[in-house]
């Protein structure tokens, strides 16, 4: 069975601080896909990134970066120079297919960025 | 193009009643998935339908059922509602069953059971 754990339930930072959201996963599949989603107060899930199990390259997109380490089954997400608009709940998720069907989600991390 | 649309946005029911939630996928998307998100938790997978056939089912009781129509829209039905069914129900669509494009989520239906 697949499992995703986000140990940090809530993080509070001051604007411009860097923050890292942790994600640890468990799966018996050799091919799998990892995702991060953002959920603002309005409720919709906004796709941020997808990574397949064969690509351990770190990725940077603007202020966002992701560190995938297969050896520790972790897929951590860092926001550099956080902004108030980054305040949301962030979910890490795992799927067997690259479209992200039948996702297994973690419990989420609520990020509060204070001005 | 319109995104994934769900109706209604909010719904209040009482225990024992039945509810039907609706989802229209993005145009051209043939796969629809349903998730339940209880307050303070991550979404949990309920069903996936592709080309009108069930492709996957999560760990939910038989009170939960779904179907997909020829136009690829979908309904989620829940019978004999319990207080624990109160949640945000999210629908997601993708182009094909295992498309290279990630699935897109709707804004959800917030269901409250009294």
pLDDT band at B103 (very low <50, low <70, confident <90, very high): confident
Q: How confident is the model at residue B95 (pLDDT cuts 50, 70, 90)?
A: confident
Q: What is the pLDDT of residues B5-39, one digit of tens each?
A: 999 999 999 999 999 999 999 998 999 999 999 99
Which residue is closest to B48 within chain A, CA to CA?
A102
Question: What is the structure's pLDDT at A98?
Answer: 78
Q: Does A102 touch chain B (CB under 8 A)?
A: yes
Beta strand B10-13 with B53-57 is: unpaired
Residues of B with CB under 8 A from a CB of A: 31, 33, 35, 41-45, 48, 55-56, 58, 88, 90, 92, 94-108, 110
| Segments of chain A scoring below 50 in pLDDT | none
| Structural contact between residues A8 and A90, judged by C-beta atoms closer than 8 angstroms | no
What letters, b where the CB count within 10 A reaches 16 and e where it falls short, cover A25-63?
Answer: bebeeeebbbbbbbbeeebbbebbbbbebeeeeeeeeee
Under an 8 A CB cutoff, do B42 and A47 touch?
Answer: no
**Residues of chain A contacting B97 with CB distance shorter than 8 Å:** 97, 99, 101
Of B48, B90, B100, the CB nearest to A101: B48
Say what the pLDDT of residue A8 is.
97
Which member of A44, A93, A108 has the closest CB to residue B107? A44
Model confidence over B34-82: pLDDT tens digits?
999 999 999 999 999 999 999 999 999 999 999 999 999 999 999 999 9
**Is residue B93 classed exposed, middle or buried when 0-12, 13-18 and 19+ CB atoms within 10 A define those classes?**
buried
Closest partner CB to A99 (pick from B42, B101, B105)? B101
pLDDT score of B75: 98
At B97, is the pLDDT very low, low, confident or very high (cuts 50, 70, 90)? low
For residue B98, pLDDT over 60 is answered with no
Please give the pLDDT value at position A96: 87
């Amino acid at each position: 069975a697949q499992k995703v754990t986000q140990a940090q339930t809530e993080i509070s930072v001051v604007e411009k601080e860097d923050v890292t959201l942790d994600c640890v996963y468990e799966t018996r599949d050799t091919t799998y896909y990892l995702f991060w989603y953002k959920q603002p107060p309005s409720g919709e899930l906004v796709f941020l990134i997808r990574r397949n199990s064969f690509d351990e390259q770190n990725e940077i997109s603007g202020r966002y970066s992701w560190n995938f380490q297969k050896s520790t089954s972790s897929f951590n997400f860092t926001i550099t120079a956080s902004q108030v608009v980054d305040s949301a709940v962030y979910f890490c998720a795992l799927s067997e297919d690259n479209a992200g069907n039948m996702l297994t989600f973690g419990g989420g991390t609520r990020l509060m960025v204070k001005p | 193009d319109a995104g994934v649309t769900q109706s209604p946005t909010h719904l209040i029911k009482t225990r024992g009643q039945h509810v039907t939630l609706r989802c229209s996928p993005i145009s051209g998307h043939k796969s629809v998935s349903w998730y339940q998100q209880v307050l303070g938790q991550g979404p949990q997978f309920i069903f996936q339908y592709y080309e009108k056939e069930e492709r996957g089912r999560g760990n939910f009781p038989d009170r939960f059922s779904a179907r997909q129509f020829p136009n690829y829209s979908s309904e989620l039905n829940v019978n004999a509602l319990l207080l624990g069914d109160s949640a945000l129900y999210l629908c997601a669509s993708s182009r094909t069953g295992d498309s290279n494009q990630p699935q897109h989520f709707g804004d959800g239906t917030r269901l409250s059971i009294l």
